[in-house]
Structure 1
Amino acid sequence: MAGLFGAASSSSSTSQTTGDLKSDVALNQPPTDSVSDLAFSPTSDFLAVSSWDNKVRIYEIAQNGQSEGRHAFEHSQPVLNVDFSKDGTKVASAGADKNVKVCDLGSQQDIVVGTHDQPVRTVRFFDSGSPMVVSGSWDKTIKYWDMRQQGPAATVQCQERVYAMDVKDNLCVVGTADRYINVIDLKNPTKFYKTIQSPLKWQTRVVSCFTDSAGFAIGSIEGRCAIQYVEDKDSRQCHREPPANSVTNVYAVNDISFHPVQGTFSTAGSDGTFHFWDKDAKHRLKGYPNVGGSITATTFNRNGSIFAYAVSYDWSKGYQQNTQNYPIKVMLHPVNADECKPRPSMKKR
């Protein structure tokens, strides 16, 4: 069967665990500064891209991988996170300007739906009878916004600054400074269902909910990834180079994305590589060659046939390392059927 962007590459038995980047297509007219987040529409192949250049850009992706900019809207400071509504008609964004914005793609109008006391790090849509937005900020709160009313519908105090958040169905997971992970049942949104300390030793960089909302993955700055069930726990190591001369190079896991059909997931990091994993079998399905710069954000489209990843500076080495010639691009990787498929279990029943 033909791949999304043309003929599917045949997998050679010698490189079963090494992936191929040769069919990847670059997004036309990418942002002019580092990419902070990527989000695909759940109803079409529209991709939202947020950036440190203060903008959110919406692109339409064609079957052949070609892309065209459809709309853009701005904050007054860098945009740190972006999400589509469940019906694909709206895009929410989190700004360093302390504002939460929602853009209606039909009218192409954007409004400020809420404001925090500090930069807003993360934003997600969810449904509670009507579409709602939840945002997490460095002001140590998460706030719920109903677009039909002024002011927050509710505010929940966290232990520390919010660094990461994800929502799937009624599961909301919030990662803060000091490695706190708060689990919220959105049917009871103003209380923490449970709070755990991250099983990883260093700062949380990303949390990502399973497709079945039974748990979530945590990625940290020390290059590890943990798989956590809401009612159980387990962990797994990811982005570390093998020791050379007794030195281990450690790279942050910047993003984790779950395949919407297979339930497998990707990790991507400062080392410029991404990997696909089977969380249940606890092994890596594919690793990919270095893409020439840090990968700052990733996402799958609605049926898992496209994996988008952003290559740009991730600020892990400070302001000085962000040079003029550092790449800024968003790549679209056509996902072949075998790349993200869980391997059959070899265990005896």
Structure 2
Amino acid sequence: MAGLFGSAASTSTSNTIGDLKNDVAVSNPPEDTISDLTFSPTADILAVSSWDKKVRIYQIAGNGASEGKHIYEHDAPVLSVDFSKDGNKLVSCGADKQAKICDLQSLQTVQVAAHDMPVKAARFFELPNSNGPMLVTGSWDKTIKYWDLRSQAPVGTVTCQERVYSMDVRNSLLVVGTADRYVNVINLQEPLKFYKTLQSPLKWQTRVVSCFPDASGFAIGSIEGRCAIQYVEDKDSGSNFSFKCHRDAPSGNITDVYSLNDISFHPQHGTFSTAGSDGTFHFWDKDAKHRLKGYPAVGGSITATTFNSSGTIFAYAVGYDWGKGYMGNSPNYPTKVMLHPIQGDECKPRPSVKKR
């Protein structure tokens, strides 16, 4: 049986350097920097949001071939996308201060949320007593708002300490990362209050927060090439740690440090990826505190990543992340979405060594 993308042989190797030779580019990519990627939970359908004000939806075939299925626009750069649990709806939000939902069956798009400033993140969630998916949006206006999709007004608003930079949901866990390194943990059973607030253990600006698949904690990435693993409950706090990644080897007294732009968890194994403006991605096992694989630079900053629901495809976006300002950009800078087939033990946790 041929592996995913045709020729991918499942080779088990202890080598920690992975290869990119089977990676496939998505056809007809966005025309400007890609801000977010998300796969449908029910099919290999990939949604891509971009600074070109568009959301693109692709069907990904088993051989890695991609076909554009739908495209729709916002009035300003789109910053985030997320699928509903049943895969029937896609939410997108952005610098036009609103969130829209696209129905994947009818391909109709409606505005469902509004803020006073750009909306940085939008996530679907479901509560036991709700009659369908709910939506939470986080904005640079320093608020998060909850939306019932049948109502035009928010059903709840929580004011944060600062602008929302990143947000993630898993089960009843909502984690909100803001400016000034605040991290707010909310139990969605009590959505209008902070269950816990902490300052990031990392010393510099938060770029991304990402919940563990089992919702017991979350990972934080910052602009200084560091990642922190944080558990929600104090009883687990002995397992909290942070580590350096996305840094070059020191040269004299100088170490080049790169922003960690995205963190994605493998849906089955609970291992995770980090990707950064150095153009590399790595797979990690947080329980073993071990790097599973590192990959060569891909020729541009990696701005967003995601796994498909079966954990067989890792998608990553290559594009300019504005880390070096206006002067760092050029017409030749690549903008593309790549699909990396997960082979062998690339993302599998290492067998734990029992301590006697």
Q: TM-score range by the shorter chain?
A: over 0.9
* Offset of residue 99 of structure 1: 0.5
Aligned to 2:24: 25
Whole-angstrom distance in 2 between the partners of 1:11 and 1:74: 42
Select which of 164, 167, 181 maps to 2:166: 164
Aligned to 1:229: 231
Aligned to 2:7: 7
Q: What secondary structure does 1:276 align onto? A: strand
The 5-angstrom pairing of residues 25-104 of structure 1 reads 25-104=24-103
Q: Which runs of 5+ in 2 are unaligned?
A: none
Q: What secondary structure does 1:228 align onto? A: strand
Select which of 144, 152, 155 maps to 1:153: 155
Query: Does the CA contact (< 8 Å) of 1:236 and 1:282 recur in 2?
Result: no
Q: Which amino acid aligns with 1:105?
A: L
Whole-angstrom distance in 2 between the partners of 1:290 and 1:10: 23
* Offset of residue 10 of structure 1: 5.5
Whole-angstrom distance in 2 between the partners of 1:2 and 1:18: 23
Select which of 287, 290, 301 maps to 1:294: 301
Q: Which amino acid aligns with 2:258?
A: Y
Aligned to 2:335: 328
The 5-angstrom pairing of residues 100-119 of structure 1 reads 100-119=99-118
Aligned to 2:220: 218
* Offset of residue 150 of structure 1: 1.4
How many residues align structurally?
348
Q: Which amino acid aligns with 1:40?
A: F
Query: Does the CA contact (< 8 Å) of 2:12 and 2:344 recur in 1?
Result: no
Q: CA 1:12–1:155 in 2, change beyond 3 Å: closer, same or farther?
A: closer
Whole-angstrom distance in 2 between the partners of 1:10 and 1:342: 16
Query: Does the CA contact (< 8 Å) of 1:226 and 1:236 recur in 2?
Result: yes
* Offset of residue 341 of structure 1: 0.4
CA deviations 1:79-98 (Å, max 9, x no partner) are 00100000000100111000
CA deviations 1:10-69 (Å, max 9, x no partner) are 6485x7100010000000000000000000000000000000000000000000000000
Q: What secondary structure does 2:224 align onto? A: coil
Q: Which amino acid aligns with 2:299?
A: G
Query: Does the CA contact (< 8 Å) of 1:3 and 1:335 recur in 2?
Result: no
Q: CA 1:288–1:111 in 2, change beyond 3 Å: closer, same or farther?
A: same
Select which of 134, 137, 155 maps to 1:135: 137
Whole-angstrom distance in 1 between the partners of 2:212 and 2:243: 15
* Offset of residue 241 of structure 1: 1.4
Whole-angstrom distance in 2 between the partners of 1:9 and 1:45: 21
Whole-angstrom distance in 2 between the partners of 1:3 and 1:243: 39
Q: Does 1:266 align with 2:273?
A: yes
Query: Does the CA contact (< 8 Å) of 2:220 and 2:227 recur in 1?
Result: yes
TM-score (norm 1): 0.98
RMSD: 1.1
Q: Which amino acid aligns with 1:258?
A: F
Query: Does the CA contact (< 8 Å) of 2:165 and 2:206 recur in 1?
Result: yes
* Offset of residue 235 of structure 1: 2.1
Query: Does the CA contact (< 8 Å) of 2:186 and 2:196 recur in 1?
Result: yes
* Offset of residue 319 of structure 1: 1.9
Aligned to 2:249: 242
Q: Which amino acid aligns with 2:204?
A: W
Query: Does the CA contact (< 8 Å) of 1:57 and 1:72 recur in 2?
Result: yes
Q: Which amino acid aligns with 1:164?
A: S
- Identity between Structure 1 and Structure 2 (%): 71
* Offset of residue 234 of structure 1: 2.4
Whole-angstrom distance in 2 between the partners of 1:226 and 1:195: 16
Q: Which amino acid aligns with 1:270?
A: S
TM-score (norm 2): 0.96
Q: What secondary structure does 2:180 align onto? A: helix
Select which of 176, 179, 199 maps to 2:178: 176
Whole-angstrom distance in 2 between the partners of 1:102 and 1:10: 39
